[in-house]
Structure 1
Amino acid sequence: MFNNSSKMMFMGILMMGTLISISANSWLSAWMGLEINLLAFIPLMSDNKLMSNEASLKYFLTQALASSVFLFAVILFLLNLSKTNSTQFMEMIIFSTLLLKSGSAPFHFWFPNVMEGLSWNNSLILMTWQKIAPLMLISYMMFKPLIMVSIIMSSLIGALGGLNQTSLRKLMAYSSINHLSWMLAAIYSSNLLWITYFMFYSFLSFTMIFMFNMFKISHINQLFSLYFNNKSMKFFMFFNLLSLGGLPPFLGFMPKLLVIQALTINNQLFLLTFMVMMTLITLYFYMRLSYSAFMLNYYENNWLTYSFYKSSNMKMLLIHSYISTFGLFLTFSLYLLL
């Protein structure tokens, strides 16, 4: 990507649009930042492949709809500040458009379809950076009835949607929807908490997608025959996957633990129980992949003799995998020492 000057320019504009949105002091400035961000991401998505062009068109239509409704609602909101009932209705519409932009349920339908047509690098941007501006604007404007509905539906759809998937992109998309429910619950508690959760989630997603992109993996059946000659990489792959799901010995459990603690303090016990149950379902489809790769014996082909250690990115991949796998132990060790 960074060998191409136009892509570097669009990446700069993409980041600038997000920064304009999160630092805006009016809704119109926030809308302008969202539009700049959208128009910079469209050229990055289209790389002259049929699937990516289709995905960029879907993404553009969805985001353009959300932006136009957002602008319309903001103008009406500014005109009707004196009337309480209509103001609450406008707040609900603005909040709904931000949920649509972030890909939260019940406005999630575009997200897995768009992810399916993108490259892994663009998928990573869509899953992480593109969520910053909508979630930050959601944290500025808390509409409590709708955020509760979105948290419950995102955790439910993120869990059940990934059960029947063979495409890893769609699997990561539904996983992202489930993580969005935890981020929205973190926003409900405090801003610092959701930013912490988002940073952990971005790191774990980067590790997984870096691995998928490096070995050019797109579907589940490619995982089983990939690492015959390198068992350590096979273990790292699935440890990272379990860490993303939030299994306790790994780093991915830490942000979930912080959200669980915050929800317990706020006495949101029903919401917490429901979210933990749905996360166990997401862990089930991660465990299903990992179990079959760890426990079952597959025929090993003798001609798969390529050494992954020759790759220049291998050191970086191993460092990220090590942090993802043993990060929780290192964090607790530092906490006990300090």
Structure 2
Amino acid sequence: MINNSSTIMFSNIVMMGTFISISANSWLGAWMGLEINLLAFIPLMSDDKLMSTQASLKYFLTQALASSVFLFAVIMFMLNSSKFMYNYYMEMMLFSALLLKSGSAPFHFWFPNVMEGLSWTNSLILMTWQKIAPLMLMSYIIYKPLIIMSIILSSLIGALGGLNQTSLRKLMAYSSINHLSWMLMAMYNSTTLWMTYFMFYSLLTFSMIFMFNMFKISHINQLFSLFFYNKSMKFMLFFNLLSLGGLPPFLGFLPKMLVIQSLTFNNQLFLLTIMVCMTLITLYFYMRLCYSAFMMNYYENNWMTYSIYNLFKFKNFLIFSFFSLFGLFIIISLYFMF
């Protein structure tokens, strides 16, 4: 992403569109905010690369389809508002359009393909900021049969889809779909809970993508030969991955623990079993990466020397890694202190 005036302008419009959606007092106002957000994000996605142009076109077509279904449902809902009978079909259409906008299964087909053509900065925006408005609108109108189906399918597809991926962007996309199932499950039980989960997820995703962007990593085979000069950096990178997967000693386990606790209190053990089993599969392909990078005998060239490109960026990565690795211990210590 080029740091110029147009980038700053479109970034501000993207944020403004999200704020309009989540603060609107009518569905029509929410639709308008979503459209502003979409039309400002397209120029940010499009740069000189062919893949990004293709990705922006795919993103535009799917989001335009979701927006048209959303607007149609809103208009039909307003026309039927004078009747006392509540129309569940309109609610289902609204919720389906928002699922398509957020990239949840079974409407996830566009998400990994679009991610593959974006830069890491735009991928971060797509995985975090662009989910805020659809998730917030979904929390207003929870359609029970559809959200349960989406929770089960998102956890299944997010886990199984990442097993055979070699591209880190697609791996992060399927990981995001799996995390979406946990967010939807948290939303089904509590509004505060999904916001908490989303904040932790955004922090962990930012720390990973900051690392990938700093060292220009795009594929799994680049991880094997990276950081031969500095094993501690390699440990931090893979511990961040395990934290994103939700392994217990790290910070990524905390939001999952809160959702598991909520599901246990509400006696939703069937959904809990499915989600925990699918998360174990995501942890498997993270562990497979770590095992390959640490345990296999890869050759090291003596002349391969690296330098940290920017000391300021390196310090930032260390700070985010510290929170990701030791954040759970800090939060538990503060809890018992106060």
| Alignment TM-score > 0.5, same fold | yes
Distance 1:77 1:225, change over 3 A: same
Q: Could you tell me which residue of structure 1 aligns to residue 172 of structure 2?
A: 172
Q: CA deviation at 1:83?
A: 6.0
CA–CA separation in structure 2 for the residues paired with 1:168 and 1:16: 30
Q: Does 1:244 align with 2:244?
A: yes
Q: Deviations over 1:226-269 (max 9, x none)?
A: 11001111000000000000000000000000000011111111
Q: CA deviation at 1:304?
A: 1.6
Q: Could you tell me which residue of structure 1 aligns to residue 115 of structure 2?
A: 115
SS of residue matched to 1:328: helix
Whether the 8 Å contact between 1:14 and 1:41 is mirrored in structure 2 is: yes
Q: Could you tell me which residue of structure 2 aligns to residue 304 of structure 1?
A: 304
Q: Does 1:24 align with 2:20?
A: no
Q: Could you tell me which residue of structure 2 aligns to residue 84 of structure 1?
A: 85
Whether the 8 Å contact between 1:182 and 1:259 is mirrored in structure 2 is: yes
Q: CA deviation at 1:295?
A: 1.7
Q: CA deviation at 1:299?
A: 0.6
Report the residue type matching 2:210 in the other structure: F
SS of residue matched to 2:248: coil
Whether the 8 Å contact between 1:250 and 1:328 is mirrored in structure 2 is: yes
Report the residue type matching 1:154 in the other structure: S
Whether the 8 Å contact between 1:243 and 1:251 is mirrored in structure 2 is: yes
Q: Could you tell me which residue of structure 1 aligns to residue 43 of structure 2?
A: 43
Distance 1:310 1:118, change over 3 A: closer
Q: CA deviation at 1:310?
A: 5.4
Report the residue type matching 1:30 in the other structure: A
Q: CA deviation at 1:188?
A: 0.4
**Gap regions ≥5 residues in structure 2:** none
CA–CA separation in structure 1 for the residues paired with 2:49 and 2:259: 40
Distance 1:110 1:83, change over 3 A: farther
Q: CA deviation at 1:309?
A: 7.4
Superposed, which structure 2 residues align to 1:69-148 within 5 Å?
A: 69-81=69-81, 82=83, 84=85, 87-148=87-148
Q: CA deviation at 1:2?
A: 7.1
SS of residue matched to 1:11: helix
CA–CA separation in structure 2 for the residues paired with 1:217 and 1:165: 15
CA RMSD of aligned residues (A): 1.1
Report the residue type matching 2:58 in the other structure: K
CA–CA separation in structure 2 for the residues paired with 1:285 and 1:206: 20
Report the residue type matching 1:328 in the other structure: L
CA–CA separation in structure 1 for the residues paired with 2:225 and 2:163: 22
Q: Could you tell me which residue of structure 2 aligns to residue 211 of structure 1?
A: 211
Q: Deviations over 1:206-230 (max 9, x none)?
A: 0000000000000000000011001
SS of residue matched to 2:162: helix
Whether the 8 Å contact between 1:158 and 1:176 is mirrored in structure 2 is: yes
Q: What TM-score, normalized by structure 2, do the two folds share?
A: 0.98
CA–CA separation in structure 2 for the residues paired with 1:294 and 1:84: 62
Q: CA deviation at 1:3?
A: 2.9
Q: CA deviation at 1:312?
A: 2.7
Q: CA deviation at 1:58?
A: 0.2
Q: CA deviation at 1:297?
A: 2.3
Whether the 8 Å contact between 1:2 and 1:8 is mirrored in structure 2 is: no
Distance 1:143 1:310, change over 3 A: closer
Report the residue type matching 2:85 in the other structure: T
Q: Deviations over 1:23-64 (max 9, x none)?
A: 000000000000000000000000111000000000000000
Matched residue count: 337
Q: Deviations over 1:100-146 (max 9, x none)?
A: 00000000000000000000000000000000000000000010110
Which has the larger displacement, 321-330 or 56-65? 321-330
Q: Deviations over 1:164-199 (max 9, x none)?
A: 000000000000000000000000011110000000
Which has the larger displacement, 181-190 or 301-310? 301-310
Which has the larger displacement, 301-310 or 272-281? 301-310
Report the residue type matching 1:84 in the other structure: M
CA–CA separation in structure 1 for the residues paired with 2:305 and 2:311: 14
Q: Percent identity?
A: 79
Structure 1: which 4+ aligned runs deviate by more than 3 Å? none
